[in-house]
Amino acid sequence: MRRAYVEAHCPLPESFKLARRWAGPRVTVIASSTSAIEASGWLPRVGLPLGVTSHRRSRYTARPVGTVIAWCLDLEEILDIESGPEVGGVVSVRAFDQHPPWVTAHQVEHLGGHELEATSEAGAAVKATVEGITMLPVDTRD
């Protein structure tokens, strides 16, 4: 999967141009809400499929397909989108201090704004703890 980001200090119109150029021909724009799409004024008129993550009653109903422009989404929303079966790439617009673990883990390409500082490598004790947790059986019965 291809991944890129435009950091939050880059103006939104420029961020969109960078993301759109990187994304290629099959693009969907996914935002957190209808108001996030309409706040820009021009985004509803770009001619791309638009969808939202939070309100299913929004008039923007596109599902994540192809390369997704993750419009001002937090890290949890981006991770949810990445797991979509028809998603081939994600470009995060307005990446901020929550995104460095994602950027570091996937060597995400920087497109504009300030470069996010990489997350440092976890220590041996943390890795051992995580490894131990991930190997524990989980009872999923109610």
Please write the tens of the pLDDT for every residue from 4-32. 999 888 999 999 999 999 999 999 999 99
**CATH 3.40.50 at 2-134, yes or no:** yes
Residue 142 pLDDT > 60, yes or no?
no
Residues written for the chain? 142
What are the structural domain ranges in the chain? 2-134
In this prediction the pTM is: 0.80
How much is the pLDDT for 98? 79
Q: What φ, ψ does residue 31 adopt, rounded to 5°?
A: -120, 170
Residue 68 pLDDT > 70, yes or no?
yes
Compute CA distances 17 → 6, 43, 44, 97, 137, whole Å: 10, 11, 15, 22, 46
53-56-58-59 Cα dihedral, nearest 10 degrees: 110
Residue 101's pLDDT band (cuts 50, 70, 90): confident
Rounded-to-integer distance, Cα 101 and Cα 81, Å: 16
Q: Look up residue 30 and give its two tokens.
A: 């996914």
Which stretches of the chain are assigned E, i.e. beta strand?
2-7, 27-31, 50-52, 66-71, 87-95, 109-112
Q: Which residues contact 80 (CB under 8 A, 6 or more apart)?
A: 53
Q: Is the dihedral of CA 103, 109, 111, 113 positive or negative?
A: positive
How much is the pLDDT for 55? 65
Residue 81 pLDDT > 70, yes or no?
yes
- Which is higher by pLDDT, 18 or 112? 18
How much is the pLDDT for 18? 95
